[in-house]
Chains A and B, each alone.
Chain A
Amino acid sequence: MGRPPPIPWRSRAPPPPTRPDVVAARRALRSGSPVVPSLSRRAFLAGLTLAAATACGRSSPVGRGTAAPGSLSIGAIPDQDPEVLQRLHGTVADSLSAALDLDVTYTPVTDYGAAVSLFRTGDLDLVWFGGLTGVQARLQTPGATTIAQRDVDTDFHSVFVVQSATGLAPSDDLRPLAGLRFTYGAETSTSGRLMPAWFLQQAGVDPQGFPGGPGFSGSHDATLQLVASGSYQAGVLNEQVWAARTAEGAVDPSVVAYARTPGYHDYHWLLGPRAADLAGPLRDYFTGLRADDPDDAAVLDLFGAGSFVPARASDHDRIEQIGRELGLVT
């Protein structure tokens, strides 16, 4: 038995040579798709590597640059006009980098929750938190240190405001508010949500029970605008913002103060674990700001503070407890 004869239509003879790019172009044309000049695989890979390599040496236009040891990224909850915050924290960043010889950058964020998340992920090292967001951030970030707070933060207040069309005269009785369309500030604001809700509950008003449910304006300035327009008949905001806007004459005359809450602890600086060794110098820097020094006074003035005082985590135990009761801390 010899080998079977070769089947003619299965001959192994090599096909006539064709240039591969011609085949590719012909194929593309037949399918009606555009012809892309073919790139050799090696050139393609080299280009890719080059692109990736150049990308590595560059800092992204979004997000933080490099987390170099000599750098500190600061942030703040967006509780008021972002332009005001930019000016305020831009000044703080300059002053801090001069005092501590660090590269300090300010990164604005769009909402309260993002500030907490970015603190947890380590994108923000030093954040100006409210009472409640500070508690949230501390509970989620092992190794976070409370640094300092303003003198005014140890006894902070909120102001309930109403539309003058409601005809309500200032009073300490919060119950008349229950029948009005009402807006808080941001959902996790301490002075715009947590403590007012708590005091409303103490006065016998369901903090979630306003007609159509309470609104969340997002910030203290937005609360003022929405009450001024009449979309909401009443709202509540941070007393400091209220006082500042009143002094600037920026408050619409149709918005009037109705009641002032008792005092509580609020804003503070919280430091993340990545920069934990800066806790001492930072505390010294903030508590060392003096109103009689013109540079320091600029910072203190923007913060609306006479001075900064050291703060401890336990200062906000009451906030944490109230947050748990209202279901805002889990």
Chain B
Amino acid sequence: MTALLERPAAVAPRLRRDRRRWAWGLAALAAVGWSVAGALDGVNPAGAAQVGAFAAAALSPAVDGAFLGVLATAALVTVAYAVLGTALAVLLGALGAGAAARTTWGRRRLGRLGRLATRGVLAVPRGLHEAVWGLLLVTVLGLDPWVGVLAIGLPYGAVTATVFGALLDEVPRGPYEALRAAGAGRVAAALYGLLPRAAGGLLSYACYRLECAVRSAVVLGLVGAGGLGYQLSLSFSSLRWPQVWSAVYALALLCLAADVAGRAVRRRLAAPRRRAGVLSRDRVLTAAVLGTLAAGAWSWWFLALSPASLVSARAREQVGVVLRAAWPPSADADLLRSVASAAVGTVQTSVLAIALASVGAVVVMGVAARPAGRCPPGRRLAGVLVRLALLLLRAVPAPVWALVLLFVLLPGVLPGAVALGVYTLGVLGRLAGEAVEEADAGPRAALGALGAHPVAGWLYGVAPVVAGPVLAYALHRWEVTVRDTLLVGLLGAGGLGALLASELATFDWPAVATVLAATVVLTLAVDLVGDRARRALR
């Protein structure tokens, strides 16, 4: 009897406010408020006619044969850049994965130092946008197809090394330890004990990188490296809207193809087919891998890449000239002041952009999600239209949005922020829609069965479930947006990018080095903040 009484009464789990989350939430609100205050420049209704002309041309793209031929060649160049850039990134990633993995270094102090050093080395290529790499490479390599391949391959390679390292860390280490204990060398043990288990994840990530590379290849064109982006920027500076829209539709088609193919392959990788309980060969996957390899060989041939031009006397001489001129970086007080204020502008722009995109994504995600089961054709049609609109939003590169919006928004933070917001909405809307699709349908169905209104069912059954993933996506996209803010600035919308463009225009290499260093530090800081905030969400 007494024994029973002595047992502590079961405590009902109490829902408590998580202070950490509150702190992050309030900080986010403050950041948005601060950025909005910095952007109150107003709008310019007089420019609506130009934006109207841009929008009207969407219905009458240029379709003359000569221009379409030019676009087709340009699209091939873009695809070739994307494929070879990804191939280089995967190669660099595979080489660097060992160095980036936690398991390689162990937990001892020396190991921690080694890991930090690797992270530092990888942070530099990662911290610079592909377009910045493109601009820098053009100045030393000139008009060479290597510019596009390296500008995608170097930053992507650093990211891929980090992710590959993390994937290797997640693999169970039993086989590796067993091989080591049996006397195998480290490399052989990793190759036979770790790699096979991680192969699916590695391939899936490589595939995701290829999708991203298509978009990056377009952006590289905008800074002059050839391909679709290049044609788009030429048509844009002539203000030939019908041609701009033809290029945009070509881009949308490419992005759509990459999205659909990439997602199909990744889905198959995530759930390998089994026949009678045994893993069986997936012909589609085999074809995809073989096709990608063939595309790589074709790209090499099409771009006429020549390894000799990378180590040619001309390239070495130009690299030498630029490096000698850039060292030591400038520490001029005026420059540092403008770097600081430009960095503030960059952060404000990115915060505003992600706030806009998040609100938009929350509004459209319900409609953008493919409904499970039967539903009225009107709902289905609305879903298709919203998904198409989102695709178009992300197919138009953010700098193009910025240049169009400059006609109706007064110069300052706003055009860049709205442009990035619109572009990011295209990405975030899709991700949020997928989060809704993957959410557990039970709560909502239960509420519906109890007679709740569909809106109430959505608010109480779906929204709480998807809030976490959507916020995590938004934070991740914020990190990407900061990098994209640089790109938009590079093409004329303020912030660190604009500063970099003006230093590059005057060939002030020491100042360029300073701005680049500031960029790397800023992106590192933003990654750190984003990482911490996401950890608080988990």
Contacts and interface: CB of A to CB of B under 8 A. Distances in A.
Interface string B7-28: 0000000000000000000000
A16 interface: no
B133 to A, nearest CB: 15
B141 A51 contact: no
B200 A32 contact: yes
A188 B279 contact: no
A171 B395 CA distance: 46
A34 B237 CA distance: 46
A192 interface: no
Interface string B135-157: 00011111111001000000000
A183 B407 CA distance: 13
Contact of B504 (A60, A107, A113, A329): A113
Interface stretch (A225-233, A287-295, A296-304, A306-314): A225-233
Interface stretch (B284-292, B369-377, B383-391, B427-435): B284-292
Nearest to B46: A230
B138 A114 contact: yes
Given A31-B200, A229-B47, A61 B302 contact: yes
A30 B175 CA distance: 14
B203 A33 contact: yes
A69 to B, nearest CB: 17
Contact of B286 (A36, A107, A330): A36
A330 B224 contact: no
Contacts of B409: 231
Contacts of B239: 81, 221, 225
Given A121-B318, A231-B411, A328 B196 contact: no
A120 B307 CA distance: 21
Interface of A: 25, 27, 29-36, 47, 51-52, 54-56, 58-64, 78, 81-83, 107-114, 116-118, 120-123, 136, 140, 181, 183, 186-188, 212, 215-219, 221-222, 225-226, 228-232, 327-330
Given A60-B304, A64-B143, A226-B407, 19 more contacts: A32-B279, A34-B282, A35-B281, A36-B290, A58-B301, A60-B144, A60-B303, A61-B77, A62-B145, A62-B303, A110-B223, A113-B139, A116-B507, A121-B143, A212-B41, A212-B412, A218-B237, A219-B237, A228-B50
Interface of B: 41, 44, 46-47, 49-50, 73, 76-77, 138-145, 148, 196-197, 199-200, 203, 222-227, 230, 233-234, 237-240, 272, 279-282, 285-286, 288-290, 297, 300-307, 314, 318, 406-412, 492, 498, 501-502, 504-508
28 contacts: A29-B280, A31-B196, A33-B200, A34-B285, A54-B301, A55-B305, A60-B303, A62-B144, A64-B143, A78-B237, A113-B505, A117-B142, A118-B142, A120-B139, A121-B143, A122-B314, A136-B507, A140-B507, A187-B502, A212-B411, A212-B412, A216-B498, A226-B406, A228-B50, A229-B47, A229-B408, A231-B408, A231-B411
